[in-house]
Amino acid sequence: MPFLGDGDCYFQGTRVGQFTMEESSKKRPFFSSIDDMVEEEYYDEQLTEKKRHLTHEQVRMLEKSFEEENKLEPERKTELAKKLGLQPRQVAVWYQNRRARWKTKTLERDYNHLKSCYDILKSDYKSIAKENENLKAEIFLEHFKEPLSTRVNVFVTSLVLYVFISLTKKLEPKDVLGTSIVGQDSNSAIGEVGDIPAPSDKIKVEDHLSVGHGGSAVVDDYDGPQLLDSGDSYFPDDSYLSEYVVVYVDRSEEDDGGDDGHKHFRYPFETTDHEDNDALGWWVWS
């Protein structure tokens, strides 16, 4: 006979469950061997106690009760057990399993709902992205409708400016530690060459270097010079501009004729040239 460990219960020669000594004494008869079990008077009773499904009527009543309240109060449990001819424990177990099934179903439903929401959003995103691409292409084509001379002019000017700025940076005065002193004192170094606006001077810059200059960049109240770019400027690095270009602005320049109360300088390094070139940026004094 095989060794039967604590809690192994047998029914008709097969293991029917595991119980601790304590539990088995309380709930079900404990058989230490198959022979013991066969000899027990309880054997016949076990046949009727064999696990079986509840009747349709019992399930119907339990379902109805569950619909009303999915938690089982002790009084309700006793009442239902009495009414259905079941052990209170069976009713409790049924509720437990029913809640588990309900939870699984709910999770499944929630998952499907979220998935459909996700699919809709994904589809929306795709159509918006496509529309965005179309608009970009439209803007690109619009740009090439401009005269070639204008485009070349913008490009060359940008290039010259970039080279100029790069050279200026290399030639800038340095202190004994090799640190640039530009910007440390508005009255020193390059500041002596031109007319650097004091930090308190309000300078606004608009970028007309960008393609599609119809909508110039936003201008704010930043205390120092700045270049605002509408996003597609030819400048390789706008930070150069904000740092240096302002040195060459001529504050004595007359108004350019605009009625906005500002003076516009089309070229940072050509303070008096008012020749038309709408593709270029200008500085604005406020």
Partner DNA sequence: TTGTGTTTTATTGCCTCC
Partner DNA sequence: GGAGGCAATAAAACACAA
The residue behind tokens 């009255």 is 187
Q: Is 74 in the site for DNA (CB under 7 A)?
A: yes
Q: Is 78 in the site for DNA (CB under 7 A)?
A: no
> How many C-beta atoms surround the C-beta of residue 180 within 10 A?
13
CB 88 within 8 A of CB 114: no
Q: Is 81 in the site for DNA (CB under 7 A)?
A: no
Q: Is 27 in the site for DNA (CB under 7 A)?
A: yes
Angle between helices 74-84 and 88-143 (to 10 degrees): 120
Tell me how far, at minimum, the Cβ of 132 lies from DNA, in Å. Answer: 43
| Choices 70-78, 173-181, 220-228, 255-263 (CB under 7 A): range interacting with DNA | 70-78
Q: Based on CB atoms, which residue is closest to DNA, 99 or 151?
A: 99
Tell me how far, at minimum, the Cβ of 94 lies from DNA, in Å. Answer: 6
Tell me how far, at minimum, the Cβ of 68 lies from DNA, in Å. Answer: 14
Q: Is 99 in the site for DNA (CB under 7 A)?
A: yes
Q: Is 89 in the site for DNA (CB under 7 A)?
A: yes
Binding residue for DNA, selected from 83, 103, 109, 130, defined by CB under 7 A: 103
Q: Is 231 in the site for DNA (CB under 7 A)?
A: no
Give the angle subtended at the CA of 185 by the CAs of 180 and 186, to the nearest 5°: 115
Of the candidates 23, 278, 285, 59, the residue with the CA atom closest to the CA atom of residue 153: 278
Report phi then psi at 203, rounded to 5: -120, 135
Tell me how far, at minimum, the Cβ of 50 lies from DNA, in Å. Answer: 5
Q: Based on CB atoms, which residue is closest to DNA, 94 or 244?
A: 94
Site size for DNA (CB under 7 A) = 33
Q: Is 4 in the site for DNA (CB under 7 A)?
A: no
Q: Is 170 in the site for DNA (CB under 7 A)?
A: no
The DSSP secondary-structure symbol of 270 reads: B
Binding residue for DNA, selected from 21, 35, 36, 97, defined by CB under 7 A: 97
Hey, which bits of the chain come out as E strands?
Answer: 8-11, 14-18, 203-206, 264-265, 282-285
CA atoms within 13 A on the CB side of 39: 7
Token readout for 178 is: 């090799």
Q: Is 191 in the site for DNA (CB under 7 A)?
A: no
Q: Is 30 in the site for DNA (CB under 7 A)?
A: no
Q: How far apart are CA 227 and CA 16, in angstroms?
A: 83
Q: What DSSP assignment string belongs to 196-252?
A: PPPTTS-EEEE---SSSTTSPPP----SS------S--S-S-HHHHHHHGGGG--TT
| Choices 7-15, 137-145, 150-158, 169-177 (CB under 7 A): range interacting with DNA | 7-15
CB 239 within 8 A of CB 255: no
Question: Going residue by residue from 37 to 56, which x/- string records binding to DNA, judged by CB under 7 A?
Answer: -------------xxxxx--
Give the residues lining the site for DNA (CB under 7 A).
Answer: 7, 11, 14-20, 23, 27-28, 50-54, 59, 71-72, 74, 89-90, 92-97, 99-101, 103
